Amino acid sequence: MANWVYSGLRIGVKSTHYPRAAEETPGVSPGLPMGRPLRSGELGEVVDRCPTGALKRGEQRIVVDHRRCVHCFQCVRGTPDPLRWQEGYEWARRATPGEAPASAALGEPLAAPFSRSLHVRVVDAGDCGACLREVKQLSNPYYNLHRLGFFITPTPRQADVLLVVGPGSDQMRSALEKAYAAMPAPRRVLAVGACALSGGVFGPSFMCSDGVGSIVPVDVEVPGHPPPPLAILHGLLVLAGRAKEMSTGETRP
Amino acid sequence: MEARTATARVPQEYFEHIDVLQEGQRSRCEIRSRAGQLPELCRWVRKRGFVFVGLIVEQEPEQWLLRYVFYPSRREGDEGEASWVHVISSQPLPQTTFPSTLEVIPGIDWHEREAEDLFELKFEGHPKLGDFVLHDDAWQEGLAPMRKEFDAHRPIGHRTADPNWRPQRIVHAAGAFAMPIGPIYSGVAESAHFILETVGEDVIRALPRFFYKHRAVEKIAEGRWPEEVMLLAERFNGISAFAHGLACAQALEAIGNIDVPPRAEALRAWLAELERLRHHVGLIHDICESTALTVAASQAAMLEEELLRLCGSLTGHRYLFGLIACGGLTRDFKEAELKSAVERAREVLERLSRLESNLIRTGSFLDRLEEVGIVTEKEARAYGLVGPIARASGLARDLRRVQPYLNYAQYAFDVPTESEGDGYARLRVLFAEARAATGIIGQALDRLPQGPVRTERVPGGPGAALGWAEAPLGAAFHWVRLDDEGRVSRYRIIPPSFVNWHAFYLAAEAFAFQDFPIILASFGLSVSENDR
């Protein structure tokens, strides 16, 4: 009979110190491209290399819309004027109000009683499996979301946060709407991954939305393709009022 | 068996003509079936030992072209270049009824259902068409989105789901209960739906309903450039992104007759095996989690995370996105980085082996897997199953062996096979394949050639070819057709999960309700890969 208790204890504590301290182990995050000023004489041809329109020419600058970045690395590989890449993972931002239903609470973190007890309902609206896998990693000893008071709940009835991944495939639309409708107030929606924020390489089309924000009101967005577990954790911390959203240093066009 | 020999023996009454075409380095034998003889011709091809891959439907300006793809199953000591066989059936566009080949090829079932839903073709003799890809309660009839006339970017006015729609019930018995599961599951899981018709504890029927995650990848690929379609190939199933990207790249390279440099071939195999290792550790975690053996699940999850960090620190992306391109790879790696990666992978494997030895000494865990969720070899063969599941049922098919690609012929590796076909056999195959994958990345590093990692050439066009790879879940096939401009006019993916989900119900039925999540985990199939 295997001694699971012993083999577990032998491994010891592996949890990251984040959010108390930054996690700097290599490989915890793919990073994101950074905008930069246009160099003198540069036409910004690197902008045309982006297949999803995440790069735009602003005022003398190359501007990055992180919601559209699908990590193809075309802006850093095989080009004479590559963009710089930022390491890190604290990317969560409030969703741009845009056409979301008018709601005073949209994007506001949940009130204090929820900050150390957040229950999350995860809904897959057509993801490729990578975002879902990163969400699953949150329960592994390295990230251990339970130590922060965050829990995955099996029912929307007991959920504070609806975590949505995927580009909003049409045949998941009504299931997603029902899951949101079943949540009692106060509730928040966390859209995770480029597909959920912009449709990624799939949407908009007759089968996919241009972001799940067109199906449920999104409070906080986490870009990435997929966002690493630490980025998703940051998104939850923002909703719990325990972390600041990404600074607006990176403007969106 | 030799193509010429095979074609010389095809009975005259079955075919109109036969062409042998070059596809890059390979040849394929296209047999155009005579009207009304399609099922007989397919039966003849199967009897000669050819393995059915899938059906590719194409709409040409004047005709429907149905392509039934087969590859020769190699036996030890087979001489000669064995050509693939494509049985072609065509009809003028207004004629949309074809004979079903279900009696001859059980694995054609879902292909015909998909073609009916997406192209509005009828397959005479198929017992159940409809409500497959396009759900009846959500979409109006006659949509046919894969037809050229349908504009993928024109928004369809949103329909209200029919509130009176009910799934079909099969079991009518005292105490029969239909338990719907999904599309949203209780944990963190992909969206798919099952109806378990139970009498007491026993699952009498398990009826799956997929395509909730359908993103119409094949449709939106049309009109795009090859580089854009490569992005779709990598991203429609992120957990085996590299393998699918590889299959698509190989199709494009065959169209353009592009030679991939030797270093790129070797690195592609290296990365594909690293992906297989990481993928299988993830499945092992899922199996432990399904049986609620939490300590084992945590240990497996840590190993998966370490492999993700390894992939991330080496390549820039935890799931290996952005590495593969038509003609090679987008970047090279230093010797020292690769060496360090192999050492770390070996270290993970050592701990994986310790996990395995603990698991096989845990009776309560084995009880949930042994003799549960059985797929027999006969069933695996009939349904044309692929991947670790097929190998756990005794069907030793692995494209790296039977249809080698890249430089796999140079490496010594096991293709582990078991015979019981139960959950435990599938688990053992996963551990053995993880070991074999680690062995290959060591060998690949020892013999890595120097040189460039990419041939900068575009595939051009017009032309069409099939690319394939043994993805972590099994044989994956990508068919790409490029038009005169070099844009994609048809993109067909035949993923291993599509083939294997078809047979899942065989394992789930005749077991208890509580076994269902464990059988699901022991199959480890991907819904996003199936749904595309």
User: What is the rounded distance in angstroms from the CA atom of residue B70 to the CA atom of residue B31?
Assistant: 11
Name the minimum distance, in Å, from the CA of B270 to any CA of chain A.
18
Residue of A25, A206, A215 for testing the chain B interface, max B β-carbons within 10 Å: A206
Express each pLDDT in B102-131 by its tens digit: 999 989 999 999 999 999 999 999 988 888
> Average pLDDT, whole number, for chain B?
90
Q: Report the pLDDT value the prediction gives residue B82, as an integer from 0 to 100.
A: 63
Provide the percentage of residues in chain A whose pLDDT is more than 90: 60
The verdict on A136 touching B (C-beta cutoff 8 Å) is yes
Within its chain, how far is the Cα of B352 from the centroid? Answer: 26
- pLDDT score of B152 more than 90: no
- Cβ atoms of residues A16 and A23 within 8 Å: yes
Q: Which residue has the tokens 């501007």?
A: A63
Q: Is B54 helix (H, G, I), strand (E, B) or coil?
A: strand
Q: Report the pLDDT value the prediction gives residue B477, as an integer from 0 to 100.
A: 96
Name the minimum distance, in Å, from the CA of B56 to any CA of chain A.
21
Average pLDDT of the segment spanning B298-319 = 96
Average pLDDT of the segment spanning B476-494 = 95
Q: How many beta carbons lie within 10 A of that of residue B56, not counting itself?
A: 22
- Cβ atoms of residues B108 and B101 within 8 Å: yes
Q: Report the pLDDT value the prediction gives residue A1, as an integer from 0 to 100.
A: 64
Q: Report the pLDDT value the prediction gives residue B519, as an integer from 0 to 100.
A: 94
- Cβ atoms of residues A32 and A83 within 8 Å: no
Two structure tokens written together for B318: 């935890």
Average pLDDT of the segment spanning A67-86 = 89
Express each pLDDT in A37-47 by its tens digit: 888 777 778 88
Phi, psi for residue B364 in degrees, rounded to 5: -65, -30
The verdict on A131 touching B (C-beta cutoff 8 Å) is yes
Residues 6 or more apart whose Cβ sits within 8 Å of residue B505: B205, B206, B207, B208
| Among A residues 98-117, those touching chain B with beta carbons less than 8 Å apart | none
Confidence of residue A101 (pLDDT cuts 50, 70, 90): very low
Nearest to B188 among A51, A132, A179 (CB): A132
Out of A52-56, A192-196, B109-113, pick the least confident.
Answer: A52-56
Q: Is B409 helix (H, G, I), strand (E, B) or coil?
A: helix
- pLDDT score of B36 more than 90: no
Nearest to B235 among A70, A169, A206 (CB): A70
- pLDDT score of A253 more than 90: no
Express each pLDDT in A106-137 by its tens digit: 677 887 888 889 999 999 999 999 999 999 99
From chain B, the residues in CB contact with A152 under 8 A are: 187-188
Average pLDDT of the segment spanning B462-485 = 94
Q: How many beta carbons lie within 10 A of that of residue B124, not counting itself?
A: 8
Confidence of residue B459 (pLDDT cuts 50, 70, 90): confident
The amino acid present at B425, given as its one-letter code, is A
Express each pLDDT in A10-37 by its tens digit: 888 899 999 999 999 999 999 999 888 8
Q: What is the CA radius of gyration of chain A?
A: 19
Q: What is the CA radius of gyration of chain B?
A: 23
Confidence of residue A97 (pLDDT cuts 50, 70, 90): low
Q: B385: closest CA among B473, B467, B279?
A: B473
Mind giving me the DSSP string for B342-388? HHHHHHHHHHHHHHHHHHTT-HHHHHTTTT-S---HHHHHHHT--HH
The amino acid present at B443, given as its one-letter code, is Q
Global pTM reads: 0.94
Express each pLDDT in B417-431 by its tens digit: 999 999 999 999 999
Q: B513: closest CA among B111, B17, B179, B114?
A: B179
Residue of B135, B235, B362 for testing the chain A interface, max A β-carbons within 10 Å: B235
The answer to whether the Cβ–Cβ distance between A30 and B188 falls below 8 Å is no
The answer to whether the Cβ–Cβ distance between A29 and B312 falls below 8 Å is yes
Express each pLDDT in B185-217 by its tens digit: 988 999 999 999 988 888 889 989 999 999 999
Nearest CA in chain B to A75: B322
Two structure tokens written together for A193: 């991954």
Express each pLDDT in B336-358 by its tens digit: 999 999 999 999 999 999 999 99
Confidence of residue B176 (pLDDT cuts 50, 70, 90): confident
Name the minimum distance, in Å, from the CA of B401 to any CA of chain A.
28
The verdict on A151 touching B (C-beta cutoff 8 Å) is no
Nearest to B211 among A122, A125, A171 (CB): A171
Name the minimum distance, in Å, from the CA of A99 to any CA of chain B.
18
Rounded to the nearest 5 percent, the helix, strand and coil shares of chain B are 40, 20, 40
- pLDDT score of A95 more than 70: yes
The long-range contacts involving B505-509, CB below 8 angstroms and separated by at least 24 positions, are: B505/B205, B505/B206, B505/B207, B505/B208, B506/B375, B506/B379, B506/B383, B507/B373, B507/B374, B507/B375, B508/B194, B508/B196, B508/B203, B508/B206, B508/B373, B509/B203, B509/B204, B509/B205, B509/B206
Express each pLDDT in B372-385 by its tens digit: 999 999 999 999 99
Nearest to B220 among A124, A152, A205 (CB): A205
Q: Which residue has the tokens 């038509």?
A: B326
Two structure tokens written together for B173: 């018995």
Average pLDDT of the segment spanning A100-110 = 61
The answer to whether the Cβ–Cβ distance between A132 and B189 falls below 8 Å is yes
Q: Report the pLDDT value the prediction gives residue B24, as an integer from 0 to 100.
A: 61
- pLDDT score of B30 more than 70: yes
Confidence of residue B74 (pLDDT cuts 50, 70, 90): low
Name the minimum distance, in Å, from the CA of A104 to any CA of chain B.
28
Q: What is the dihedral of CA B505, B511, B516, B518, to 10 degrees?
A: -110
From chain A, the residues in CB contact with B209 under 8 A are: none
Q: Report the pLDDT value the prediction gives residue A100, as an integer from 0 to 100.
A: 43
Two structure tokens written together for B510: 């005749």
Nearest to A169 among B214, B301, B330 (CB): B214
The verdict on A2 touching B (C-beta cutoff 8 Å) is yes
Nearest to A27 among B187, B313, B363 (CB): B313
CATH class as words, domain B217-325+333-531: mainly alpha
User: What is the rounded distance in angstroms from the CA atom of residue A244 to the CA atom of residue A91?
Assistant: 10
Q: Is B234 helix (H, G, I), strand (E, B) or coil?
A: helix
Q: Return the half-sphere exposure (C-beta side, CA atoms, 13 A cut-off) of residue A76.
A: 19
Two structure tokens written together for B10: 């095809």
- pLDDT score of B526 more than 50: yes
Name the minimum distance, in Å, from the CA of B161 to any CA of chain A.
8
Provide the percentage of residues in chain B whose pLDDT is more than 90: 70
User: What is the rounded distance in angstroms from the CA atom of residue A57 to the CA atom of residue A48?
Assistant: 10
The answer to whether the Cβ–Cβ distance between B184 and A51 falls below 8 Å is no
Bridge partners (DSSP) of residue B2 are: B82
Name the minimum distance, in Å, from the CA of A79 to any CA of chain B.
11
Express each pLDDT in B250-277 by its tens digit: 999 999 989 999 999 999 999 999 999 9
Mind giving me the DSSP string for A209-238? -SSGGGTS---EEE-SSSPPHHHHHHHHHH
Two structure tokens written together for B343: 């050492």
Nearest to B302 among A122, A141, A174 (CB): A141
* Stronger pLDDT, B25 or A137, i.e. the higher one: A137
Q: Report the pLDDT value the prediction gives residue B436, as an integer from 0 to 100.
A: 95
Average pLDDT of the segment spanning A77-94 = 87
Q: B234: closest CA among B314, B306, B325, B311?
A: B325
Mind giving me the DSSP string for A72-104? --TTTSS-SSPPEEE------EEPP-TTSPP-T
Exposed/middle/buried for B532, CB within 10 Å: 0-12, 13-18, 19+? buried
Q: A167: closest CA among A226, A253, A238?
A: A226
Out of A177-181, B125-129, B524-528, pick the least confident.
Answer: B125-129
The verdict on A37 touching B (C-beta cutoff 8 Å) is no
Domain boundaries, chain B: 3-124, 217-325+333-531
Q: Report the pLDDT value the prediction gives residue A168, as an integer from 0 to 100.
A: 92
Domains and CATH numbers, chain A: 32-86 (3.30.70.20), 93-239 (3.40.50.12280)
Provide the percentage of residues in chain B whose pLDDT is more than 70: 95
Confidence of residue B7 (pLDDT cuts 50, 70, 90): low
- Cβ atoms of residues A191 and A221 within 8 Å: yes
From chain A, the residues in CB contact with B220 under 8 A are: 202, 205, 207
- Cβ atoms of residues A120 and B186 within 8 Å: no
Q: Report the pLDDT value the prediction gives residue B72, as an integer from 0 to 100.
A: 84
Statement: B3-124 belongs to CATH 3.30.460.80: yes
